[in-house]
Structure 1
Amino acid sequence: MYQDKQDNREIIVSTSIAAIHWNGNWAFACDFYKNDLTDARIPGEQCGGRCAATSGCTHFTWTTYNGGTCWMKHGHARKENAFSTGDRSMVCGVVEQRSTDRAMYGVHTTRHGATEHGACALPASDYAVVNPVALGNIESLKNLKFRPELCGHVLNVDCGHGSLDIIVTNSNLGGGLDLYGSTWDKLTNHKPPGITSCKRNIGLLNTNGRIVVKATIDGRSGVHHGDNSYYAFTHGPIYDYKKVIFAFEDGGTHSVFLRDCVKQRNQQTWR
């Protein structure tokens, strides 16, 4: 309500603004001013998802224009910034701000050359995972530390050669971003990794009661970590033609070639 007193006259102007009834992060009969980013001719029920998957899109409006158009918008916007249109054929909404939306810098990144399957249960039949990443849990990741609910979320990563939307498909506990080969090449423009060594955990099981006390490759001893029977080798590269020599408590040895391992997903076993 607005009052203005001039020459002893009182002018009263009242306005009535229709309430917007929100269904979570979207509502009917509403719109946002300006800040158009891009648009797409898609059904209304797909507009919010398209916005969430579009880099820079923070809010959206869908109208029946041209058979159905999703108007994706950028910039900071909240539900309070929407205005009522009275047209219930229109839909507007905001992309809920997630912890993954905050920018971070200086995150340790490694290149993972393995096959690009992961631990997250993603509906592969519904969409293609083209830029996968394994998310770690080191302190520099802060709010992006891996947790199961981040599986399937899209991160925007820039390594200095242009940004890329990548999808979380696995965990890299104990590390930072673990980029699979194809994702690494796109983000770094095929830059070679700074660290070329890797870790292999190797153990000899079912030894008919003989206790393994040592494992060596090229005269270098593996390091025994934790409550398991494996020895970690961190020098590299370790090629498949290398021989592993296991030493037993009774003084005997047994040797195997890495190439004789049978690969089963992320584990290998000897016949």
Structure 2
Amino acid sequence: MSEHGRSEHSLSEYAQANRANWDDRASAHADRGPHGYQVSHYIDDRAAISGVVRFDLPRLGSVEGLRVVHLQCHIGTDTLSLARLGAQVTGLDFSSVSIEEARRLVADTGDDVDFVVSDVYDATEVLTPGSFDLVYTGVGALCWLPRIQPWAAVVADLLAPGGSLFLREGHPILWSTDERLGDDLHLRFPYFEQQEPLEWDSDTTYVEARRPITATRTYEWNHSLGEIVTALIAAGLRIDLLVEHDSVPWEALPGQMVARPDGEFALAALDGVAPLSYTLRATKPASSPG
């Protein structure tokens, strides 16, 4: 078998393991009690929006009437939040269990959101290219993608001329930091995209869950900020905004962070030493007249 063949086979195995993990996480995160994503909040309060979406409202601007696709939408809390802001939203995720839970959630909340099951790289096979005013991607999505260039191409293909990508993500510096070492910031993992992924084995997730995760093995890839920006430019998009933040919406580095009133977590003693997340907006230029 060729080297290329071995690589493609390995990536398929990685994706299968990650999908099993996210299938397992989805049911844990969708708990109707005080655990997981606390989704009952969205059922009880029909005006509630997620902290991730709320954080970026000044940069997001009005989405009223926009056709939006939320890539890697998980159980749909950010997705329905965009719908509550007036957008016509479709959520896409490779986990069928995530999509089942997302559909169950909007059935309970009454929000009008469509959901489809697809790997993000295959999004243009299940969605009409050029039909979206906004492609939205939230925190913790890109690290599950082996290559950033084909992702950027998918984003560009989905957008209508004049449409935009809106991305809030963990900073690649954060993904390079070993969270298991709580005495300082320790850069231990690749900042740049690598051929082979980092392998993890853990029965926990990033929110409090009622039960341990059983599909424990996962594979992740980092992508540098320069690689992400360059890939989007190469796909024909114009970078309009890039803001680095000193916070993230979960306790990414246990023992080194403090909670803020807005639900974000920032470094305590080392506040401001490193960027922890970023917001990026990029636009697909409108077609030239005639």
The TM-score normalised by the length of structure 2 is 0.19
Query: Higher helix fraction: Structure 1 or Structure 2?
Result: 2
- Please identify the structure whose Cα radius of gyration is greater: 1
Give the TM-score of the pair, scaled to structure 1. 0.20
Which structure has the highest strand share of the two? 1
